Structure 1
Amino acid sequence: MTVPRLDLPAPNRELSPYTGLTREHWCAYADFLLRSVQRFATEDHANIHLPGAGSAYGPRSDSLEAFARTFLMASFRMAGDPAATGWLADWYAQGLDAGTDPRSPDRWPTPGELGQAKVEAASLAVGLALTRNQLWDKLPERVQGQLIAWFETVVGEEYPPINWVWFQIVVETFLASVGGRSSAEDIEAGLAVHDSLYRGQGWFADGPERAYDHYVGWAFHVYPQLWAMLAPGDPRVKARGTLDGDRLADYLDDAVHLVGANGSPLIQGRSLIYRFAAAAPFWVGELSGHTRLSPGTTRRAASGMLDYFATHAAIDGQGLLSIGWHGEFKGMKQSYSGAGSPYWAAKGMIGLALPASHRVWTAVEEPLPVERGDIRRLIAAPGWQVNGTQSDGIVRITNHGTDHARQGDRLADSPLYARLGYSTHSFPDLAPESLDNAVVLVDGAGRLTHRTGFSTHSLTVSGGGLEGSSGGAVNWIDVPDTTGPDHGSGVAGQPTQGPEMTVTSFTRGAVEVRMVRLSGTSGCPPARLRIGGWPLDPDSDLTSVVVPLAGVGEPLDDGGSLAGVEARPMGSGMVIPWVGTSGPATDGLYVVVVGFGGAGVSESVRGVQLDSDPNGFRVRFDGTPVPARETEPLGSTRS
């Protein structure tokens, strides 16, 4: 099969001085991706059988997923440019007919038959609502009836109390708009779950756990605004308009600080194979009018993401989105991931539903916060200290609040949630036991402790830097050979409790002073302490360093670099610097300085000082003291 051509216009540096991308570039990418997947469709267009890995739900689920998610992309394209997209309406109309024809051997499993179909039904409903004039109204009455019957199998179904409740809400709202059955009880119950997961200042947790990730934006903020577009006259929509809109605007105020100057979103959390779906909430802010960001900043953030992935091999030689981050990386596959799963990147193309005359397309790009200056920001709900540095464009978080678990749980650490640090320029080590941004104890068998279930002690901002603290008993976890589905949480196993560990991070720019307090070591198996820094590709031009802070606390007399040569989501190989104890760690205080960034990081690390007095510690970055507010004794539980 011949791969379609990607015909991109020349970069427009007057309108888009940072990325060069205009709406025409976005259209070109969307059309190229859509034409590429259509080559793998069945003759009736109902199922798209993409090459590559399959999910745990089987090929019928995976082929529906590929259809639904690419249809969502096509619907944005059609909504924003009806005159030029008749070819998409015709192609997908055939698939909608065959997929819902109960007599067809290629028919889709219904949401009542297959859980994953509940997810994909929402993409189909949103797409049909956005293209009502171009597509739904032109479908034969027979096909409309088939679709209504297929959608109606969601009514009364159970949905897990996470972002999934929105899939039922939008489908039943669409049904109500086209004369199908719907349940007010279902919708109201879903809205109640949504509100129960709100954690303040624009942030949601994806369930009862401390699960903070990109689902906050591309699910909990995108769907309420799409729902409002589906039923603008609904009294529930009207009653929630200001509430949901303000929450979105609050979230975007934080989210824009989590985009690196390279265009990468924060590399943290599950489903990262959706890549530029992280652009979706920025577009929805403009689509709904609920944003405080300038349109030039919104487009800079969104176009930066598309450009980042397009120029880092996210689109393979067949014109397909692979499972991975840059290119294909099978190690990022989760149990629900099939070859069509990456096409939820379609959400990041929702800006195409806005016409070419919209201000978000006509405004000149403006710089991201990290391009205007250094960032120091606390995000309370997930417990993140955000530090961005203009000199290298890196955004980093230091994590004292997120682990995809509940306080007190004793689980293995989830690599994408429980690390002490994540950034826009380094990919986490995907092994559950790792020195990546870690403070761990290593027993005689080589097992590393896990921090999941910790308590957040404090999170404070003041003039000189940021401070966060968390702690609790660490555990060794013996994980069975066979574990359950990977949906983000750390896996369960047989725990062996270790000592109490409190970690306090003083951060500014590229530097963290990491203080570790151990207590209760005498009652636990003897174990060496290891404090690890940021993981880097061996060929990276960035610097990752960890050094003991001389003259403070217990001695750290061992160190080195953990090196690997295996393939990685952003390259080949990985190096993690570390320091620790050569023998069993004892109760006491251990202090290191961690640095990660571009030129000058090593000098910044060497410039850190720590002064002590009877009341605690005073950190000095490059000779500048952190104010007294941040020098309280370790173990403070203020919030």
Structure 2
Amino acid sequence: MNKFKYMFLMVTSIFAINIAAHAQSQKKAKSVAVVTGAQDREYWANLLYKMSSPVIYNLANATLKKNMPVEVPPGQKVDFFKKVTYLEAVGRTMAGVAPWLALPDDETKEGEMRKKLRTALLKGIANAVDPANPDYLNFRTESQPIVDAAYMAQAFLRAPKALWEPLDPVTKARIAEEFKSLRTRTGAYNNWLLFAGVNEAFLMSIGEQADPVRIEFAKRKILEWYQGDGWYSDGPSLSIDYYNSYVIHPMLVDFFKVLSDKKRISADMYETALKRMVRYSEFSERIIGPDGTYPPIGRSITYRTAAFQALGVVALMKKLPAHINPAQVRCGVTAVMHRMFDQCNNFDKDGWLVLGFCGSQPEIADVYTSTGSLYMATLGFLPLGLPAEDPFWTGAAADWTAKKAWGGQSFRKDYHVDY
């Protein structure tokens, strides 16, 4: 009897311990799960600062070419990439940080980070177009600079008061001349037409003579390549990848905004492009899995969080559809960032991004990819351009569509649109 009693006591004790442990783990899980929008914003800001600061501070110190590693895919030669990778890093980083740096100064830790980055970037931009500077960037040879000048242009269009107007007249004139020098080359018959168009639109926006042929060709072909339901093909053939977010929607909307403001296209044409981007953003929100993963499909997946640029632009413009709560976008994209950057080491020992999707995976990098290319990832952080008091950041944590769907919650059905 005593033996059975002893066994009973042992079993019940173990059961009680397990219950207590489970309750403790549940309590811990709940405490971890309750994260405020302010905490999400702090995480985004710190991550973007970590990602962008090596590019911006080295450019300001004229040490970018000296210190930035040039990692290339297996079998590719480094020498060619050294001609283009530095402008890639600068242009793409500028486009990603521009809305954030456009916010007014304040005394917060985040405000201090923004001010330091903006001050350094303005100095760096002057270095980038000074022929006597060690970090003078190559706009003049190869086709790739057409692409990355366009991201620099997009940065100026996104934050003119923060990044363009403070520049001195000599630097502004030099930038205009570098952009004009791009006209000696052409690129691929796909989204590259849009890069050329955006470069010309930027020149138009600062009062320079733009090339009407490049503008018209880009406008006509991109519209011709619209496939419906918010999707453009990347050239004559449809590709299932993230180029609608990396390039097409955000650049087309910025391109058409300049043309609309200059009365070169109708306001309706701009509004249609915007509506199509909003529709595409619905797909972007839905591809975020309940665990923060998303499909590694198509080329250029080493651009990482740039897959959510279009969604971020729509949130930044406060154009999210009524059925999408801004907080669910914040929580969904935050989940992606945690999954990608907390569970994978995407940086080398000196803080530079490495080739890969989730960690170092150089074998998945496309042949045109090098270290500078990777800074497209900054384009996933555009909602930081919304002030901290915006509902995007102050709203209570909310589940995104896939989390609702896989959690047995009610969620909105999805339907094709005709515009």
Counterpart secondary structure, 2:68: coil
Which residue number in structure 2 is paired with residue 68 of structure 1?
91
- Paired residue for 1:299? 330
Matched, 1:59 2:82: yes
Are 1:192 and 2:220 counterparts? Answer: yes
* 2:279 pairs with 1:279: no
Runs of 5+ unmatched residues, structure 1: 1-9, 374-388, 392-460, 462-639
Q: Which residue of 1 aligns with 2:52?
A: 34
Cross-structure match for 1:205: 233
Which one of 175, 192, 200 corresponds to residue 203 of structure 2? 175
1:318 lines up with 2:350 in the alignment: yes
The letter for the 2-side match of 1:94 is K
Match of 1:116 in 2: 144
Letter in 1 for 2:228: G
**Aligned CA distance change for structure 1 residues 48 and 41 (closer, same or farther; 3 Å):** farther
Could you tell me whether the CA contact under 8 Å between 1:263 and 1:304 is conserved in 2? yes
Partner of 2:272: 243
Are the counterparts in 2 of residues 206 and 212 from structure 1 also a CA contact under 8 Å? no
- Once the two structures are superposed, the pairs formed by residues 530-541 of structure 1 within 5 Å of their partners are none
Aligned pairs (5 A) from 1:235-634: 235=263, 236=265, 238-292=267-321, 293-316=324-347, 317-373=349-405, 389-390=406-407
Letter in 1 for 2:218: G
Alignment pair present for 1:92 and 2:121: yes
Structure 1 CA distance for aligned equivalents of residues 353 and 266 of structure 2: 35
TM-score, normalised to structure 1's length?
0.53
* 1:211-222 pair list within 5 angstroms: 211-222=239-250
Q: Distance in 2 between matches of 1:72 and 1:81?
A: 18
Aligned with 2:42 (options 7, 21, 24): 24
SS of 2:375's partner is helix
Paired residues of 1:33 and 1:319 also in contact (CA < 8 A)? yes
The SS at the match of 1:340 is helix
Deviations, residues 10-30 of structure 1 (Å, cap 9, x unaligned): 9782535xxx95222211111
SS of residue paired to 2:84: helix
Q: Calculate the TM-score normalised by the size of structure 2.
A: 0.79
Q: Which moved more, 1:167-176 or 1:281-290?
A: 281-290
The superposition leaves residues 591-625 of structure 1 with CA deviations (integer Å, 9 ceiling, x where unpaired) of xxxxxxxxxxxxxxxxxxxxxxxxxxxxxxxxxxx
* Post-superposition CA distance 1:561-580 (Å, at most 9, x none): xxxxxxxxxxxxxxxxxxxx
2-side partners of 1:73 and 1:296: how far apart?
Answer: 21
Partner of 1:97, secondary structure, is helix
Larger Rg: 1
User: 1:154, 1:36 → 2: CA distance?
Assistant: 27
Q: Name whichever of 135-144 and 352-361 sits farther off.
A: 352-361
User: Is the CA contact (8 Å cut-off) linking 1:246 and 1:290 kept in structure 2?
Assistant: no
Distance in 2 of aligned mates of 1:338 and 1:238 = 39
CA offset at residue 360 of structure 1? 1.6
Task: Establish whether residue 13 from structure 1 lines up as the match of residue 34 from structure 2.
Answer: yes
Preserved contact between residue 277 and residue 344 of structure 1 (Cα < 8 Å): yes
* Residue identity matched to 1:312: Q
CA distance in 1, matches of 2:161, 2:175: 16
Distance 1:107 1:37 in 2: 14
Deviations 1:218-259 (A, max 9, x none): 322111233355566233262313211221222223332221
**Contact in 1 for aligned 2:145/2:182 (Cα 8 Å):** no
The answer as to 2:171 corresponding to 1:153 is no
Instruction: Summarize the Cα distance change of 1:14–1:91 in structure 2 as closer, same or farther, 3 Å threshold.
Output: closer
Mapped contact 2:51–2:378 kept (Cα < 8 A): no
1:545-572 Cα shifts (integer Å, max 9, x gaps)? xxxxxxxxxxxxxxxxxxxxxxxxxxxx
- Of the structure 1 ranges 40-49 and 239-248, higher mean CA displacement relative to structure 2 is found in 40-49
Q: Deviations over 1:194-238 (max 9, x none)?
A: 112111111112122231211122322111233355566233262
3-state SS of the aligned residue for 2:227?
strand
Q: Distance in 1 between matches of 2:222 and 2:313?
A: 18
Letter of the structure 2 residue corresponding to residue 158 of structure 1:
T
Distance 1:14 1:328 in 2: 29
Instruction: Call closer, same or farther: CA 1:72–1:82 in 2, change over 3 Å.
Output: farther
**Partners of 1:136 and 1:41 in 2: CA distance:** 17
- In structure 2, the CA distance between the partners of 1:192 and 1:181, relative to structure 1 (3 Å rule), is same
Q: Percent identity?
A: 21
RMSD: 2.7
1:42 offset after TM fit, Å?
7.8
Partner deviation per Cα, 1:275-303 (whole Å, 9 max, x = no partner): 11112111111233443122122212222
Q: Out of 170, 176, 180, which is 1:142 matched to?
A: 170
Q: Which residue of 1 aligns with 2:411?
A: none
Q: Could you tell me how far 1:49 is from its partner in structure 2?
A: 4.4
Structure 2 contact 63–135 (Cα < 8 Å) conserved: no
Q: Please report how far the alpha carbon of residue 68 of structure 1 lies from its aligned counterpart in structure 2 after TM superposition.
A: 2.1
Cα deviation for residue 75 of structure 1 reads 1.8
The DSSP-based 3-state class of the residue aligned with 1:346 is helix
Distance in 2 (CA, whole Å) between partners of 1:45 and 1:70 is 16
- C-alpha distance 269-129 of structure 1, shift in aligned 2 (>3 A): same
Q: Aligned AA for 2:151?
A: S
Alignment partner of 1:199: what SS?
A: strand
Deviation of 1:145 after TM superposition, in Å, equals 0.5
